[in-house]
Structure 1
Amino acid sequence: MNWPLSILGGVAVGTGSALLPVVNAEAYALVFTANQPWMLAPVIVALAIGQTAGKLLLFEGARRGSARLGAGSKVAALAESRWASRIRGALVRRRTAMPLMLASASLGLPPLALVSVAAGASGQRRRTFAGLCLVGRIARFAAIAVPVAYATGIR
């Protein structure tokens, strides 16, 4: 596979995994870097960009209101859940909002889908959310893929 297709594939898988739980970006990072360890950095960044773009769609959906999306939508259900209301409470305070968003993006706890919806509903800044999501996702994919790339031959 040539490098432009690898990068486009990483963005596509990242976006898909941000919106569909059955698509696994972490597995893509592992398999791809095991087979092509020299593409480690571009694929990690591409996956992170795709994930951030997908989470921004959830963020914007919640920001614009669940009424536009319909009462039966998944975003509306997430926005009204008990977890989302707790997370939204933490996101209102700037002192707790940034660490919560970064922890969610890098560790996955609380789930980034919930944090994305809650951040949009609580009025967080789009740039702050996107930046923290991108940094956290790069760290997450790097922590998963770098050991595999080094074990399979990157020097």
Structure 2
Amino acid sequence: MIAVLTAAAVGLLSAFLPFTPAEPYLIAAGATTGAPAVALGVAAAAGQTAGKVLIFLGARGAIRSAWLQRRLSRRPSAAPQPSGRLGTMLARSKAAGARLVEVMERPRQATGVLLISAVTGFPPLLAASVYLGRTPMRPAAFAATCLLGRTIRFVVIALAPQLAGY
């Protein structure tokens, strides 16, 4: 029971601190505590989803703030663009990022991107949470999709020691 509660706490902490991932804890707890892997995975997913929902809602509130709106309305100064191979690579990266942002602006596609992000970690779920906070996505849809994706990810990871024979 302590391992499961700790998994929820680690999940919550890792929602805010990406350098504190839940995955190593889940593998270690699954290999050493005898706690049910599914319970560990679901607890970590619930903790992390709670944190990501707070980030999502915080981004939504920050986006609506008058101070931030004034800052965003300022025109950035034009910076010189690199040329050659580096310039080509940066241009392709920027174009791919623009396509991802375009997809995330559409509610149905945004849900798919969020689910993929929650399961795979790409795009980073922290970045997706902040970005989706500025879209019309409903918080309940965000929470449900995030919980589903993180549950899949964390249960599979928590089951890894059993699958490896530990």
Confirm or deny a common fold (TM above 0.5).
Answer: yes
State how far apart, in whole Å, the 1-side matches of 2:165 and 2:110 are: 38
Match of 2:21 in 1: 24
Match of 1:34 in 2: 31
Q: Which has the larger radius of gyration?
A: 2
Give the alignment partner of residue 48 of structure 1, picking from 41, 45, 58.
45
Give 1 or 2: higher helix fraction. Answer: 1
Contact 1:63-1:121 at 8 Å conserved across structures: yes
Match of 1:135 in 2: 148
SS at match of 1:22: coil
Q: Which amino acid aligns with 2:62?
A: G
CA pair 111-139 structure 1, distance change in 2 beyond 3 A: same
Contact 1:88-1:119 at 8 Å conserved across structures: no
Residue 119 (structure 1) aligned with residue 132 (structure 2): yes
Residue 36 of structure 1 and its aligned partner are, at CA, apart by: 2.4
State how far apart, in whole Å, the 2-side matches of 1:85 and 1:122 are: 15
TM-score between the two structures when normalised by the length of structure 2 = 0.74
Structure 1 unpaired stretches of 5+: 77-81
TM-score between the two structures when normalised by the length of structure 1 = 0.79
Structure 2 unpaired stretches of 5+: 73-93
**In the TM superposition, what whole-angstrom CA distance separates every residue of 1:49-108 from its partner, at most 9, and x where no partner exists?**
01101111110111112475x86xxxx9xxxxx898765532221231111010000000
Q: Identity over the aligned pairs, expressed in percent?
A: 37
State how far apart, in whole Å, the 2-side matches of 1:34 and 1:19 are: 26
Give the alignment partner of residue 61 of structure 1, picking from 47, 58, 61.
58
SS at match of 2:137: coil
